[in-house]
Amino acid sequence: MTDQTTIPRHHHGDLRNALIEAGISLLEEGGLDALTLRKCAARAGVSHAAPAHHFDGLAGLRTAIAQEAFDRFAASMTAAAKAEGDSPRARLRGICRGYLEFGLKHRGLLETMFGVPAEDILQEGNGPEDAASYMILRDACAPFVPEGTQPEVIEFQVWSLIHGYTLLFVSGRLGCLAPERIEDGPFEQVMALLDRVGDTTVT
């Protein structure tokens, strides 16, 4: 039960962040369906109508949670990019591994991040470049962009491959119904296709 003595009535002080944190907790514990405005409010120790002063309804809260989750995801990807070595191939493999790790540990957050409308996530510009996490992907892909090829092509190849693998794997569609570790699926073998990204030799 929330300790009401530490939270003054009518002026929480940092309710917006408290609601976002409460929402993240609910998503981590119970997935998408577990997130409700009233439950967030209860966890933050306020009435059910308090969130309305900080968010444009449940959709607004979800968007704010997605934005916070993207920040955490970007931080996670930054660390992952360095985890497997300094060569461009190793960095690329590292961020793909980090992507999947994030999905395994935070499935509810990942589903929220990619469930909110794209236009609510991006700022005024409308390209994916707005996202810090996308810039990490871009940096890692840059060494593999052949001359005369738009960088987006390579970036979208990598992103599609790892995003698709992550969603299919964590949702139990790749042979293991409830995967707990990366090794529960053929991650290394599937990601071998990354070695072909940017490869323009004729076959």
Q: Is 36 helix (H, G, I), strand (E, B) or coil?
A: coil
Least Cα distance to 116 among 47, 49, 69 occurs for 69
Q: Is 53 in the site for DNA (CB under 7 A)?
A: yes
**From 118, 124, 148, 180, residue interacting with a second copy (rule: CB under 8 A):** 118
By CB under 7 A, the residues from 56 to 85 that bind DNA are 57-59
- Dihedral angle over CA of 58, 64, 70, 71, nearest 10: -150
**From 7, 43, 132, 186, residue interacting with a second copy (rule: CB under 8 A):** 186
What lies within 8 Å, CB to CB, of 6 at 6+ separation is none
Chosen from DNA, a second copy, none, partner binding at 172 (C-beta under 5 to 8 Å by type):
a second copy
What lies within 8 Å, CB to CB, of 115 at 6+ separation is 32, 62, 66
Q: Rank residues 60 and 88 by Cβ distance to DNA and give the closer one.
A: 60
What lies within 8 Å, CB to CB, of 62 at 6+ separation is 23, 35, 112, 115, 116
Least CB distance to a second copy at residue 6 (A)? 36
- Between 150 and 169, how does the x/- string for binding to a second copy read (CB under 8 A)? x-xx--xx-xxxxxxx-xx-
φ and ψ of 74, to 5 deg: -60, -45
**From 14, 56, 71, 195, residue interacting with a second copy (rule: CB under 8 A):** 195
Residues in the interface with a second copy (CB under 8 A) total 40
Q: Is 1 in the site for DNA (CB under 7 A)?
A: no
Task: Give the footprint of a second copy on this chain (CB under 8 A).
Answer: 114, 117-119, 126-128, 149-150, 152-153, 156-157, 159-165, 167-168, 171-175, 177, 185-186, 189-190, 192-193, 195-197, 199, 201, 203
